[in-house]
Amino acid sequence: MTNPIQQVILSNIRMLVERSKAAREMSHRSTIGTLIESYITNFLKEQFPTGVSVTSGIICDSQGNTSRQIDLVVTLDSSLPFISMKEGIALIPSESALLAIEIKSTLTTQALKQVEMQNKSISKLVMRGQQQNGKPIIIPTMLVAFDTQITNNKVEEWMNNNGNTISCCVISNYLVKRNNLGIVEIINGFAEPSFIETLQLVVDLQQIIIVLRDNRDLKTDLKPYLLS
């Protein structure tokens, strides 16, 4: 017997799948991709815990380094504010960024290369201030898609060589994720309950954001961005 929360989440996943399948019947390929990615984005935005915000944009540091444009960046509400450039697009101080999420209508080899380049651009960012617990700060990435041209084993191999990516989910197909020990494991979509891979994605998304939110004790300062 499913509980009401699981019923609602499953209903939302089924709606996402049905809308995406309907979008694929359209003839304009770029429109198809944009629609499907917007459906995934709206679904994910409903899953974030309190204390964080989400935007699309570019992560930057006070020294002028920038990331590539990222589909979704989860930011810490109590840290430095992000600067909106236009609706849905912002400049995000590196000290505020918790998690980067890339969304694709179809997972391809090129998409993995793009995330690879994104990870490299993020890893070059400098964070000003003092991390009180002394731990290094990493902005991890997640990847979510609707269709795929790549097998889960190929994604597993890719993730073993790209440590900053913690999860790659193809909805109703598979989830490749890094567990608490850092070991990459595969959850196939045919397992029960229905959409187990996407339900696990939602669980992981909330858990990782809560951990990142609660452990980010960086003392931040806007002065280096404005007066350096």
**More confident of the two residues 112 and 1:** 112
Q: What is the pLDDT of residue 67?
A: 95
Order of all β-strands in the sheet with 70-76: 83-86, 89-93, 52-60, 70-76, 97-107, 141-148, 165-170, 174-178, 184-188
Q: From the CB of residue 98, how many other CB atoms can be counted at a distance below 10 Å?
A: 24
Q: What is the pLDDT of residue 111?
A: 96
In 3D space, the residue among 194, 202, 149 whose CA is nearest the CA of residue 177 turns out to be 202
Whether 23 contacts 41, CB under 8 Å: no
pLDDT (tens digit per residue) in 137-190: 789 999 999 999 999 999 999 999 998 999 999 999 999 999 988 899 999 987
Place of tokens 């810490």: 76
pLDDT greater than 90 at residue 84: no
Whether the pTM exceeds 0.95: the reply is no
Whether 105 contacts 147, CB under 8 Å: yes
Place of tokens 């997972």: 107
DSSP letter string, 74-86: EEETTSPPPEEEE
pLDDT greater than 80 at residue 218: no
Instruction: Name the least confident of 38-47, 166-175, 215-224.
Output: 215-224
Exposure letters 65-78 (e unless 16+ CB within 10 A, then b): ebbbebbbbbbbee
- CB-facing half-sphere around the CA of 217: CA atoms within 13 A: 7
